[in-house]
A and B are shown apart, each in its own frame.
Chain A
Amino acid sequence: MRRALFAAAFALVAGSATAQETEIRVHYAIPTIWADTQKALAEAFMAKHPEIKVTLDGPAEGYPEGVQRLLREAVAGTAPDVAYVGLNRWRILQDRGLTQPLDGFLGDDPAEQGYTPALLSLGSFKGQQHALATSASTLVMYVNPKLVEQAGGSMDDFPTTFDGVIELAARINALGDTIDGVWIDRHDWRYQSLLGAYGGRPMNEDETDITFDSEAGIEAARLYQRFAKEAGMKSYADSDARQALPAGTLGIMFESSSLQTRFEQGAGDAFELTVKPLPLGTDDEASVYFPTGGSGIVMLTRDEAKQKAAWEYIAFVTGPEGQKIIVENTGYAPANSIVVEDKEYLGAFYEKDPNALVAHTQIAQHAGPWYAFPGAEGVAVTDLIAAALVDVTEGADAEATIKDLAETLRVQLGMK
């Protein structure tokens, strides 16, 4: 009886809207990167699926603000049906039971649709798929070839080890008072990337213990100190460094591959900004992984009809056609293996943009999850990691600092 009533009510509501058309509301953030892309995605999707209408919510300024808004809307019961969130932030929504698992929609063979296990790992937790990556970025080196040549280095024979990079950076740094050799942000994600380059992991698999106080983690932290001591790295804030690189006063910068377009525009004709892959700190290449930033998409609606439409949309934007639009418009790397492997989609794009190919190849080879620390203190501890890296950069003993930090995190995260 009650079901019948509900069904009748639902039919009434649905009937008063346009017949047969399902509307889904989509949330996204960072309009400076995404606004045009989102419009293009929605239009391409609706052209293919006229029975579904996509409405874009007004974008949030950034991913943190976006998650805030989603939480607020969830409390008020006005959450959108589908949302793009930062790859390190969907766990906040999952933690509060807001995301709908996607396993039922994915079918038995996700790899065939281009969702490789590495890509799926970016959005899965405890065996359930809560998010699918929509765009990806990893840490790469941005190099100013002019400065490298002035310092007597060569772009063809660019160092592929951290020792080589430090040695070259020191020579660039010696070029002048206003010239800097190298810079990397003291930040959780950057540290996790260096850690991965040495083959380490921040946590064990079931997330019950911190593991970055291993030899790999200490080496990764020591890099910060060596950059400062041997290559004269300054304690720039990220915005300072992001001005210095395009201005031509910074030789090598470790930064997210998503900034490539912005840096290239900034450098203009002054020099030919070049992207180099991150050096590896270990011979065991299978253990290397680079935590992947970028965005993922989650399904929030609990309504069955809407879920179907939402899945159609998610499948489209994470599929090769949607990915092609995203890559061409944002400079992010794709999160679908078909679009990379099949030249039909992006072959021409890569030919025009060899820098992008470097970054995207690195992701295809070594993509791994950007570990989000579990629980209520999960975001807070990332600031503690950043603070510890400041200490190490300024001369504190790397081993003692990292071991201390790991202990603090274990206590704060309730692991002991």
Chain B
Amino acid sequence: MRRLSIARREALTTLWLAGPATLAMVLFIFLPVAIVALLSFTDYQFGATTLNWTGLENYQRLLGSTLGQRAITNTLLYVAIVIPASVALGLLVALGLHRMTGWAPGLAHALRAVYFLPVAATLVAMSVAWQMVLHPSLGVVNHVLAALGGEPRNWLSDRGLVLYTLAVIGIWQTVGYNMVLFLAGLVAIPPELYDAAEVDGAGGGWSRFWTVTWPMLGPTTLFVLVVTATNAFRVFETVATLTRGGPAFASDTLVYALYREGFVYFKAGYASAITMVFFAFLLILTFAQIRIVEKKVHYR
């Protein structure tokens, strides 16, 4: 038996290691995406035995109709609120807790668990709690507002308000996750850097943050941004359980519209088109973030 060359053997090992996972990816991710892409050019109805090629009609309907446009703008608005707010809040909380570990480690641990709770809890169950808290006449929020002399609001059934309410719930849900990631990043910063900064004259809190902490958190921030963005774009559970896209489509988002069209209206072709648009948005956003932010990220 002839022995294979070292290069050959290494190549085979690589293939053996990466092959199965790649095959699974092709079978279970790329192939379905390709099928969905094909379906998006048809008028296929779930359960139907025939389908017609309709070209770009589904895309024209999505981008041209008020309903489609509303789902897109709602999603973009939601993302535009949730990403910066939950990243900034996550960073703030992490910085505070990181400091607190110095003088009250027990309290810091307890608070960390509290902040992480919304991430660990299932969102659907939490939605029920939110529904009660935000109830127009029985909810705690309006009772407190009224006690403070404010005007009670219909948080989930006012068309002008509902999307912002959902965004706040979205932020509430992601802050804890972002905090944990930032905390890990903070712990990994070597203390010598702070000493060096002090020697170089950066002694104040702000200058320490700008010259050491923030640059060193670069890779973490990039990761947090990408993860938050994908999660925000995928907003579904809160919409489905709290508002069902209403009232009058005021909280309709891309993924909810996709569910509604595909699984309530059974318009699989149109739902496929929404999926492709959603996919494109996510791809563009992630690429842009990596392109722009990565230039400024220092890897050690």
Q: Do A and B bind each other?
A: yes
Of the candidate stretches A141-149, A229-237, A327-335, the one touching chain B is A229-237
In the assembled complex, the Cα of A243 lies from the Cα of B242 at a distance in Å of: 14
Query: B138 and A236: CB pair below 8 A?
Result: no
Stretch at the interface among A8-16, A66-74, A100-108: A66-74
User: Complex Cα distance A235/B158, Å?
Assistant: 7
Assess the B47–A75 pair: CB atoms within 8 A.
Answer: yes
Instruction: Report yes or no: A234 in contact with B137, Cβ–Cβ below 8 A.
Output: yes
Kindly list chain A residues whose C-beta atoms are within 8 Å of the C-beta of B137. 178-180, 234, 244, 249
Could you tell me the dominant secondary structure of chain B's interface residues?
A: loop
Assess whether A380 is in contact with B49, with CB atoms less than 8 Å apart.
no
- Determine whether the beta carbon of B264 is less than 8 Å from that of A386: no
B124 within 8 A of A: no
Listed residue (A74, A98, A243) with the most chain B CB atoms within 10 angstroms of its CB: A243
Residues of A with C-beta under 8 A to B146: 177
Cβ–Cβ contact B157 & A236, under 8 A: yes
Determine if B156 and A237 form an interchain contact, defined as CB atoms under 8 angstroms apart. Answer: yes
- Judge if B289 is at the interface, Cβ distance under 8 Å: no
**CA–CA, A234 to B156, complex, Å?**
12
Q: CB distance B264 to A379 under 8 Å?
A: yes
B118 part of interface (Cβ distance < 8 Å): no
In this complex, the interface size class of chain A, counting residues with CB under 8 Å from chain B, is 35 or more
Chain A residues, Cβ within 8 Å of B242? 237
Residues of B within 8 A of A75 (CB): 47
Segment 198-254 of B: residues with Cβ below 8 Å from A = 242-243, 246-249
B185 within 8 A of A: no
B247→A247 contact, CB < 8 A: no
A244 touches B47 (CB 8 A): no
* A residues 358-380 touching B (CB-CB < 8 Å): 376-377, 379-380
How far apart are the CA atoms of A310 and B47 in the complex, in Å? 23
Flag if A237 contacts B246 (CB, 8 Å).
yes
Closest approach, in angstroms, between the C-beta of B48 and any C-beta of chain A?
6
| Contact A390 to B48, CB < 8 A, known contacts A234-B154, A244-B137 | no
Do B266 and A71 touch (CB < 8 A)?
Answer: yes
Point out the residues of chain B lying under 8 angstroms from A72, CB to CB: 47
Q: Give residues 178-229 of A contacting B (CB, 8 Å).
A: 178-180, 186
A380 and B246 in contact (CB under 8 A), knowing A96-B48, A243-B138?
Answer: no
Does A92 interact with chain B (Cβ within 8 Å)?
A: yes
A96 close to B246 (CB less than 8 A):
no
Interface positions of A from 237 to 261, Cβ below 8 Å from B? 237, 239-240, 243-244, 247, 249
Give the residue among B47, B48, B157, B243 with the most A Cβ atoms within 10 A.
B47
A387 and B157 contacting across the interface, CB-CB below 8 Å? no
Q: Is the beta-carbon distance between B263 and A391 smaller than 8 angstroms?
A: no
B residues in contact with A379, CB < 8 Å: 264-266
Does A414 interact with chain B (Cβ within 8 Å)? no
Tell me the nearest residue of chain B to A67, going by C-beta. B266
Selected contact of B157 from candidates A97, A240, A243, CB within 8 Å: A240
Question: Which of B29-37, B85-93, B128-136 lines the interface with chain A?
Answer: B128-136
Interface assignment of B267: CB less than 8 Å from any CB of chain A: yes
Are B136 and A234 touching (Cβ within 8 A)?
yes
Distance in angstroms between the alpha carbons of A250 and B72 in the assembled complex: 37
CB contact under 8 A between A390 and B247, given known A68-B263, A74-B47? yes
Contact A390 B131, CB 8 Å, known A68-B46, A92-B266:
no
B225 to chain A minimum Cβ distance, whole angstroms, is 33
Q: Is the CB of A96 within 8 A of B47?
A: yes
| 1/0 contact string of B173-211 vs chain A (CB within 8 Å) | 000000000000000000000000000000000000000
- Select A64's contact among B48, B152, B263, beta carbons within 8 Å: B263
Q: A68-B263, A237-B247, A387-B249 are in contact. List 18 more A-B contacts (CB 8 A).
A: A71-B47, A74-B47, A75-B47, A92-B266, A96-B45, A178-B138, A180-B137, A235-B154, A235-B157, A237-B157, A237-B246, A239-B131, A249-B137, A380-B261, A380-B265, A383-B260, A390-B247, A394-B159
A-B contact pairs, 22 of them (CB 8 A): A64-B263, A68-B46, A68-B266, A71-B46, A75-B47, A92-B47, A96-B49, A97-B49, A98-B47, A178-B138, A179-B137, A234-B136, A237-B157, A240-B156, A240-B157, A243-B135, A376-B265, A377-B265, A387-B247, A387-B248, A390-B246, A390-B247
For the complex of A and B, the 4 pairs showing the least CB-CB separation, nearest first, are A71-B47, A387-B248, A390-B248, A235-B157
| Chain B contacts to A: CB under 8 angstroms | 43, 45-49, 131-132, 135-138, 146, 152, 154, 156-159, 242-243, 246-249, 260-261, 263-267
Chain A residues proximal to chain B, CB less than 8 Å: 64, 68, 71-72, 74-75, 92, 96-98, 177-180, 186, 234-237, 239-240, 243-244, 247, 249, 376-377, 379-380, 383, 386-388, 390-391, 394
